[in-house]
Amino acid sequence: MWRSSLRLGSWVGVVSFAVLVISGDAQAKLMFEQQPMKMAAAEALCHTEEPAGFSIMAVGDVADADCDSVQTFTVPALLSFLAHGDLDTEVKGIDDLVGEYRERYGSHYPDDPALGELAGEPVDYVPSLPVTYWGFRIMIGFGALSAAIGVVALWLTRKGRIPESRWFPRMTLAGIALPFVANSAGWIFTEMGRQPFVVVPNPSGVDGVWMYTAQAVSNVTTGEVWTSLIALTTVYAVLGAVELFLLVRYVRGGVAGVMGGPGGSDGPGGSDGPDGPDGSGGSGPDDPGSGGSGEALAFAY
Ligand code: HEM
């Protein structure tokens, strides 16, 4: 059972990543047209390039929008491909885009008291570069890593093999966590990359519609925000702790306690299964004969 569930999970990870590469590529092409600043911020691309290389990794402070202190390792022309499907498209850098954004959408926030301290101030059109640059790389990198773990797991468990090394279970456990981190990074990248807008203007569509995030702040006090944040975090933390507790008890109970193992009186072909409704199911969860597992699983049920 362990082997089949591991292989199923590995296939899901590998196939999902392949699908995400295709859908991510489509999203990138839309982003290039509709949110050019987000595209430049994802790359911390200060100056316009034609063709534009895709930065694999940066060393230095990517918040330095002049790129003076940043050394990036790039794959030539790959960003042009991601943006437009060819190897020579120009991708605009932050420098040029800031000028364009100011011209199109204004250089200052409206002088509206509802905007608080931002009223009448200059608009900063550059999103947080460390968040967007690293968010984009964590999204792709961790997704790729979890798919790579899936490929290794499929290879090592081929034709009935069960790997015995100690690092293997640890690696596969990491393979469960990595997509969650990749997902969160993708989401954070998307939301942070659209700043300072909550409704982003679309230069390839209806360009006259936009709203600054500062204009969308609702009339809720800081205390109220803290209260709901703490309440929700507490509820989820308690649920998480209970989940973990039950999970550990199930794992310690062992497979036999759930499936009916070799020592149990009802194997896989047993008449009423391990969790039969009448509770009399041989080596079922509350069968004392199945050792510690009975107690653990009885608790869980
Ligand atoms: C080559 C691989 C990938 C590429 C090229 C890619 C590209 C993108 C792009 C361009 C966006 C921004 C869309 C926008 O803001 O308009 C995005 C968002 C996102 N990506 Fe990826 N991605 C890739 C892999 C992944 C993986 C592996 C995951 C998760 C396991 C992931 C999860 C997300 C999520 C959750 C969002 C936010 C979607 C939303 O809130 O609308 N991506 N991706």
- Residue of the CA atom closest to atom 20 of ligand 1: 186
Binned at pLDDT 50, 70 and 90, residue 60 comes out as confident
**Tokens matching residue 32:** 């290039």
| CB neighbours of residue 110 within 10 Å | 13
Can you give the pLDDT at residue 299?
52
Can you give the pLDDT at residue 258?
67
Give the mean pLDDT of 104-120: 92
Alpha carbons 135 and 132: distance in angstroms, whole number: 5
Residue 198 CB burial class (10 angstroms; 0-12, 13-18, ≥19): middle
Domain boundaries, the chain: 2-217, 218-301
Alpha carbons 205 and 227: distance in angstroms, whole number: 40
Binned at pLDDT 50, 70 and 90, residue 270 comes out as very low
- Residue of the CA atom closest to atom 19 of ligand 1: 186
C-alpha pair distances (Å), 123 with each of 35, 86, 106:
17, 33, 8
What torsion do the CA atoms of 36, 40, 42, 43 make, to the nearest 10 degrees? 150
Among the atoms of ligand 1, which is closest to the Cα of residue 143? 27
Check if 36 has its Cβ closer than 6 Å to any atom of ligand 1.
Answer: no
pLDDT at 9 over 50: yes
Q: Are 127 and 38 in contact (CB under 8 A)?
A: yes
Query: Quick one: CA dihedral 167, 168, 170, 174, positive or negative?
Result: positive
pLDDT in tens, 191-235: 999 999 999 999 988 888 999 999 998 889 999 999 999 999 999
Check if 37 has its Cβ closer than 6 Å to any atom of ligand 1.
Answer: no
Instruction: Compute, in angstroms, the gap from residue 29 CA to the centroid of ligand 1.
Output: 12
Test site for ligand 1: of 38, 55, 190, 194, most ligand atoms within 8 A of the Cβ: 190
pLDDT at 291 over 90: no
**Residues with Cβ < 8 Å from 93, sequence gap 6 or more?**
40, 45, 46, 47, 48, 49
pLDDT in tens, 11-55: 999 999 999 999 999 999 999 999 999 999 999 999 999 999 999
pLDDT in tens, 69-91: 677 889 999 999 999 999 999 99
C-alpha pair distances (Å), 58 with each of 50, 74, 132, 186:
20, 9, 13, 18
Type of residue numbered 274: P
Q: Are 104 and 110 in contact (CB under 8 A)?
A: no
Check if 187 has its Cβ closer than 6 Å to any atom of ligand 1.
Answer: yes
